[in-house]
């Protein structure tokens, strides 16, 4: 009995306790870790992956998966740069185009999965390849920056609009001047929105029902296909927002950036399963998972761990979180019945 | 006297508190087809699974050819001479591989099988097996490209390559057309002549009439009848399978008010006879029949999951042709499906979320769920139907089968229905919960029409005002639930004595 309770407690709060312990440890061991600037730096480093991870969480909720988010994000990065620098469009039009592109990719993913019955991993993997290739075609594989030579011999005259760059670079005052970068605010707002949507709305509840038993959800009259497509569209739009924020931060259409986006965001969403013993995809867990990775890397960096150990550390955290979720929760499940 | 190939004595098996097999005594004789009949949940499949090594028995003995038979697992059972061809054909063959590989697959898993596969040797072996069974397809063709009957034959041929003493066929004709089934029967005749003991599990009377040498009926985990003398007493077998001990539920049949739903010339399948049927306000109609009689098809048509081949449906006098469950629900037609585990229960949800799932919009304001309302409605329903639980926050998986089923039915009682369809509502439900559900359905019947689809006559007698018997996708009889002539009803369930032309298509059961 006592053992059961301990196990339940560990499953529920273990991950958060670990997170708190880590913060305390780094705060004591690494001078400068426990400062507002450092905290903001962590948030900034996870904002974009966090936004992508929240999108992929929605597809995980309906029992799917979206491997194309990284490619959607880099496509949005290139598209926004191309729209402003080469086509000389305004920031508003560029943003609109990117959001539309994300939604369209999500729609195609969803249709491939529900209408053409392509398994989700394969459909979105195919889409990932397609987009990675597609985003290179207009610029013949080059990055986009003002003054670059275009295929027709002219040079690109446009510039990133200042409004657009403001999105990625502006910092709000909070206690200290110029503290909180706008992408962090956007990340937190999106996290709040997805958390409310998945946890507290009728539509969110139906999406969980679909992920848990699709047939049963359909037999109570849920339009299952529409919800699944919607999940992929949310994922696509989130990824395009992430990509635009990255473009706004970099200020150029860098073809090589965003390589780690997919793995990092998927890891955050999966780590999120372990938070509060949810054992299922959830927005709060995803955001916490992203923070966990961010804090760990920031702490290790400040303690002079070499950068090339970062992926290894992420991998260890992910595997540990998965064991935590699936092994411990299954034991709890059998203990009950 | 034929020799007994397999002797089963006092076989028992329980799953947790569920006593599924309660002392089975059964002999399977060489060169004889023993047909095993039983309604859903009678324990047939558990018996088969014990014989083919999937489950270990709790008590009892099995002898095979005089020696004790105690298979460690499925492979061991096959090696010892008990081979099973399962109901789902694609479980028995690998569609992406060719016929030769499929026929010789078991050889590849034998201990001491060579590391490298020699195709020419494999094909020669496969051709030998195929010829022995009278199969004439090219052994190099891909199994997925063959028709269902050929795939079935291959599954059986592969089984026969091991020269088994006992062959178990679980619903082998369930996806075969009449002509295909005839080929299967010819094969069974051949195997019988070779002295194989065959255990044939089926609900289809036409099949049973064709192949049975002996009929064994199971009911509630025990043998309820053995019919061995020619001519076989098929009606006796059906009534032994369905059982109709007098129930202690007293029903005063009501005739109901105005018709709520009317089926006019409805054909379930293009080849079946038209059905004319009405269900009235306040009335409970039970539709009964064997597996494959068209019950499920009818439920699916009424709920927008399938389209009728012809005819029309009227709901409250207006045409009703739902294309999706969503449209059906919008018109007030609710279905509680059979097999709640795969069709109804949301395992990740608690009781309250499971209960309120169909009507979440009624429990939300501007999309946001109102948890308090959900909880109150669930609590009220828990008290009304008597669900044994701590509260609406319990995980649905902590409930017993009967209580889960109460949640699944309660879900459709939250909002008033015009037509409530219950497909096998008593499946996997203990007798207490069954009575509770029946009583509650009867108590709330006013204001809607209710159609209950059940294969057990007992269950129909317990709940219905009127019982409609389906056979081969057509109405075979209709009875008001008062002093019913059970013998007549049972004979309608089992169908006319002359085998009707068998329809190949299935209703998906």
Residues of chain B with Cβ-Cβ distance to A206 below 8 Å are: 357, 360
Residue A336 Cα, gap to closest chain B Cα (Å): 8
Which residue matches tokens 């473009």?
A247
The whole-angstrom separation of Cα B198 and Cα A124 is: 49
User: Same structural domain for residues B231 and B90?
Assistant: yes
> How confident is the prediction for chain B on average, in pLDDT?
85
What 3-state class would DSSP assign to A336?
A: helix
- Residue B353 has its nearest CB partner, among A205, A221, A333, at A205
Q: Does the residue B67 lie in any domain?
A: yes
CB within 8 Å: A220 and B358: yes
- The nearest alpha carbon in chain B to A213 belongs to B346
Q: Which of B213, B242, B271 is a domain's end point? A: B242
Report CA-CA distances (Å) from A181 to A45, A187, A190.
11, 10, 15
What is the pTM (predicted TM-score) of this model? 0.79
Query: For chain A, where are the E strands, in sequence order?
Result: 171-174, 176-181
Does A218 touch chain B if contact means CB atoms closer than 8 Å? yes
For position B35, which CATH number holds? 3.40.50.300
Position B501 pLDDT exceeds 60: no
Identify the CA nearest to A59 among candidates A288, A276, A265, A314.
A265
B282 lies in the same domain as B219: no
What is the rounded distance in angstroms from the CA atom of residue B353 to the CA atom of residue A297? Answer: 39
Classify the phi-psi angles of A63: left when phi > 0, otherwise alpha if psi is within -120 to 50, otherwise beta. left
- Tell me whether residue B273 is in a domain: yes
Residue A188, domain extent: 2-336
Please state the domain count of chain A.
Answer: 1
Of A200, A209, A336, the CB nearest to B346: A209
Task: Find, among A95, A125, A105, A67, the residue nearest to A269 by Cα.
Answer: A67
User: Of A193-202, A287-296, B427-436, where does mean pLDDT reach its minimum?
Assistant: B427-436
For residue A333, the model assigns a pLDDT of 47
A140 Ramachandran zone, left/alpha/beta (phi>0; psi -120 to 50): left
- CA-CA distance, B244 to B493, in Å (whole number)? 13
Tell if the CB–CB gap between B364 and A201 is shorter than 8 Å. Answer: yes
Cβ–Cβ gap B343/A219 under 8 Å: yes
Is B411 in Cβ contact with A202 (below 8 Å)? no
Determine contact, residues B171/B160, Cβ cutoff 8 Å.
no
Mean pLDDT of A323-336: 63
Task: Determine which of B367, B394, B404 to mutate to test the interface with A (most A C-beta atoms within 10 Å).
Answer: B367
> For B359, which residue in chain A has the nearest alpha carbon?
A220
Closest CA of chain A from B51, distance in Å: 28
Cis peptide before B436 (omega within 30 of 0): no
Same domain, B297 and B170: no
Specify the residue for token string 């919008």: B330
Contact B211, B33 (CB under 8 A): yes
Name the residue facing B347 among A205, A213, A222 (closest C-beta).
A213
Q: Are residues B180 and B102 in the same domain?
A: yes
Tell me what the mean pLDDT of segment B11-16 comes to.
82
Contact B20, B175 (CB under 8 A): no
**Is A163 an 8 Å CB contact of chain B?**
no
Q: Which of B346, B358, B361 sits opposite A213 (nearest CB)?
A: B346
B251-280 tens-digit pLDDT: 788 887 899 999 999 999 998 899 999 999
SS (H, E, C) B83-122: EEECCCHHHHCCCCCEHHHHHCHHHHHCCCCCCCCCHHHH
CA A299 – CA A102 distance, rounded (Å): 34
Give ipTM to 2 decimals.
Answer: 0.86
Report the relative pairing of strands B214-219 and B333-336 from DSSP bridges.
Answer: unpaired
Contact between A216 and B342 using a beta-carbon 8 Å cutoff: yes
State the smallest CA–CA distance between residue A17 and chain B in angstroms. 25
**Same domain for B285 and B371?**
no
Contact, A27 vs A295, CB < 8 A? no
Residue of A nearest to B334 (CA): A220
Contact B357 A217 (CB under 8 A): yes
> How do residues B423-470 score in pLDDT, each as one tens digit?
999 887 777 788 889 999 999 999 999 999 998 888 888 899 999 999
Which residues of chain A have a CB within 8 Å of the CB of B411?
220
Residues composing chain B:
509
Cα→Cα distances B361→A58, B178, B366, B373, B488, Å: 20, 48, 9, 12, 47
Q: In angstroms, what is the C-alpha Rg of chain B?
A: 25
Which residues 6+ apart lie within 8 Å of A300 measured at CB?
A309, A310, A313
> Strand pairing of B18-29 and B4-15?
antiparallel
Does residue B501 lie within any of the structural domains? no
Hey, what's the torsion of the CAs at B285, B290, B294, B299, to 10 degrees? 40
- Whether B124 and B253 share a structural domain: no
Are both B123 and B181 inside the same structural domain?
Answer: yes
Q: B337 vs A219: CB contact, 8 Å cut-off?
A: yes
Check whether B152 has a pLDDT greater than 60: yes
Please tell me the number of Cα atoms within 13 Å of A40 on its side-chain side.
17
Q: Are residues B161 and B188 in the same domain?
A: yes
Alpha-carbon distance of A295 to A19, in angstroms, equals: 9
A216 touches chain B (CB under 8 A): yes
Q: Can you name the residues that pair with B395 across neighbouring β-strands?
A: B350
Locate the chain B residue with the closest alpha carbon to A196: B368
pLDDT the model gives residue B55: 86
Residue B65, SS3 per DSSP:
coil
Mean pLDDT of A216-237: 96
| Secondary structure element (H or E) that encloses residue B314, with its range | strand B310-315
Neighbours of A284 (CB within 10 A): 18
Higher pLDDT, residue A28 or A255: A28
Domain boundary (B197, B226, B242) is at: B242
- Residue A166 neighbours by CB distance under 10 Å: 12
Using CA of residue A56, residue A58, residue A60, residue A65, what is the dihedral sign?
Answer: negative
CB-based contact A316:A292 (threshold 8 Å): no
pLDDT at B75: 78
Considering only CB atoms, which chain A residues are within 8 Å of B343?
215-216, 219
Asked if the Cβ–Cβ distance from A213 to B353 is below 8 Å, we say: no
Domain CATH code at residue A308: 1.10.3470
- Domains contained in chain B, number: 3
Residues with Cβ within 8 Å of residue B402, at least 6 apart in sequence: B429, B430, B432, B433, B434, B436
Distance in angstroms (rounded) separating the CA atoms of residues B137 and B126: 11
Using DSSP's 3-state secondary structure scheme, residue B399 falls into coil
- B189 CB contacts (<8 Å, ≥6 apart)? B211
Q: Which of B394, B47, B43, B28 is nearest to B213 (CA)?
A: B28
Query: Which structure tokens are listed for B60?
Result: 């009892």
Instruction: Give the structural domain span for B312.
Output: 247-344+416-496
| Residue in A closest to B411 by C-alpha | A220
Interchain CB distance below 8 Å, B360 and A205: yes
Give the residue from A196, A221, A330 with the most B CB atoms within 10 Å of its CB, the best one to mutate: A221
pLDDT digits (tens, 9 = 90+) for B124-145: 888 887 887 777 778 888 888 8
Query: How many beta-carbon pairs under 8 angstroms link A with B?
Result: 75
What is the H or E stretch that residue B471 is in?
strand B466-471
What is the average pLDDT across A163-177? 86
Asked whether the beta carbons of A274 and A324 are under 8 A apart, the reply is: yes
User: Would you say residue B507 has pLDDT above 80?
Assistant: no
B293 and B398 belong to one structural domain: no
Q: Which residue among A200, A208, A336 places its CB closest to the CB of B348?
A: A208
Q: Which domain-ending residue is among B382, B410, B438?
A: B410
């Amino acid at each position: 009995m006592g053992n059961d309770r301990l196990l339940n407690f560990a499953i529920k709060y273990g991950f958060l306790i670990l997170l708190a312990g880590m913060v305390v440890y780094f705060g004591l061991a690494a001078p400068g870790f426990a400062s507002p600037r450092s905290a903001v730096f962590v948030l900034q480093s996870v904002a974009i992956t966090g936004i992508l991870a929240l999108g992929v969480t929605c597809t995980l909720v309906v029992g799917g998966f979206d491997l194309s988010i990284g490619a959607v994000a880099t496509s949005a990065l290139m598209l926004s740069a191309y729209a402003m620098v080469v086509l000389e469009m305004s920031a508003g039009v560029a943003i609109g185009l990117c959001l539309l592109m994300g939604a369209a990719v999500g729609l195609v993913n969803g249709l491939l999965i529900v209408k053409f019955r392509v398994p989700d991993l394969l459909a979105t993997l195919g889409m990932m390849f397609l987009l990675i290739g597609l985003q290179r075609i207009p610029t013949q594989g080059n990055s986009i920056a003002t003054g670059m030579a275009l295929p027709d011999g002219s040079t690109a005259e446009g510039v990133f609009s200042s409004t657009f760059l403001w999105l990625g670079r502006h910092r709000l005052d909070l206690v200290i001047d110029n503290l909180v970068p706008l992408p962090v605010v956007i990340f937190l707002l999106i996290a709040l929105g997805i958390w409310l949507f998945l946890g507290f709305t009728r539509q969110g509840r139906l999406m969980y029902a679909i992920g848990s038993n699709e047939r049963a959800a359909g037999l109570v009259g849920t339009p299952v296909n529409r919800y699944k497509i919607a999940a992929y569209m949310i994922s696509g739009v989130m990824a395009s927002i992430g990509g635009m924020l990255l473009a706004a931060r970099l200020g150029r259409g860098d073809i090589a950036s965003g390589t780690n986006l997919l793995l990092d965001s998927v890891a955050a969403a999966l780590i999120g399963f372990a938070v509060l013993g949810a054992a299922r995809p959830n927005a709060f867990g995803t955001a916490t998972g992203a923070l966990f990775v961010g804090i760990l890397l920031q702490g290790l960096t400040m303690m002079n761990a070499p950068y090339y150990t970062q992926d290894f550390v992420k991998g260890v955290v992910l595997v540990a979180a998965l064991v935590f979720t699936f092994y411990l929760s299954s034991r709890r499940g059998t203990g009950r019945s | 006297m034929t020799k007994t190939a397999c002797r089963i004595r006092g076989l028992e098996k329980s799953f947790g508190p569920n006593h599924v097999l309660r002392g089975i005594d059964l002999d399977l004789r060489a060169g004889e087809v023993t047909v095993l009949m039983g309604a859903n949940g009678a324990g047939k499949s558990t018996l088969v699974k014990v014989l083919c090594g999937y489950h270990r028995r709790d008590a009892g003995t099995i002898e095979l050819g005089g020696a004790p038979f105690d298979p460690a697992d499925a492979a061991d059972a096959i090696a010892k001479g008990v081979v099973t061809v399962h109901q789902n054909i694609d479980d028995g063959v690998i569609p992406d591989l060719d016929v030769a590989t499929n026929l010789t697959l078991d050889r590849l898993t034998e201990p001491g099988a060579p590391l490298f596969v020699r195709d020419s040797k494999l094909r020669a072996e496969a051709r030998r097996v195929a010829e022995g069974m009278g199969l004439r397809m090219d052994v190099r063709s891909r199994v997925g490209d063959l028709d269902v009957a050929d795939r079935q034959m291959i599954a059986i041929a592969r089984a026969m390559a091991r020269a088994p003493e006992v062959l178990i066929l679980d619903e082998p004709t369930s996806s075969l057309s009449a002509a295909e089934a005839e080929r299967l029967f010819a094969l069974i005749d051949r195997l019988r002549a070779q002295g194989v003991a065959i255990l044939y599990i089926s609900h289809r009377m036409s099949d049973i009439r064709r192949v049975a040498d002996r009929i064994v009926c199971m009911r509630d985990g025990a043998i309820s009848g053995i019919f061995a003398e020619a001519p076989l007493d098929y009606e006796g077998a059906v009534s032994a399978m369905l059982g109709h001990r007098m129930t202690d539920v007293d029903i005063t049949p009501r005739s109901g008010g105005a018709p709520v739903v009317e089926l006019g010339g409805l054909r379930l399948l293009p080849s079946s006879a038209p059905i004319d049927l009405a269900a009235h306000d306040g009335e409970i109609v039970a539709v009964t029949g064997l597996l494959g009689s068209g019950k499920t098809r009818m439920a699916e048509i009424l709920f927008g999951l399938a389209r009728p081949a012809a005819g029309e449906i009227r709901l409250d006098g207006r045409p009703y042709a739902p294309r999706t469950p969503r449209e059906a629900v919008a018109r007030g037609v609710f279905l509680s499906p059979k097999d709640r585990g795969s069709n109804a229960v949301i395992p990740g949800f608690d009781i309250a979320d499971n209960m309120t799932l169909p009507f979440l919009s009624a429990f939300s304001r501007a999309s946001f769920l109102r948890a308090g309302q959900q909880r109150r409605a669930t609590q009220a329903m828990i008290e009304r139907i008597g669900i044994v639980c701590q509260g609406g926050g319990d995980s649905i998986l902590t409930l017993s089968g009967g209580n889960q089923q109460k949640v699944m039915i309660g879900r459709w009682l939250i909002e008033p229905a015009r037509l409530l369809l219950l497909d096998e509502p008593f499946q996997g439900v203990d007798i207490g919960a069954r009575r509770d559900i029946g009583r509650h359905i009867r108590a709330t019947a006013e204001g809607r029409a209710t159609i209950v689809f059940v294969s057990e006559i007992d269950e129909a007698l317990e709940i219905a005002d009127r019982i409609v018997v389906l056979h081969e996708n057509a109405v075979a009889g209709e009875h008001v639930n008062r002093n019913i002539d059970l013998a007549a009803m049972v004979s309608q369930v089992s169908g006319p004595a002359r085998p009707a032309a068998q329809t190949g298509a299935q209703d998906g059961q």
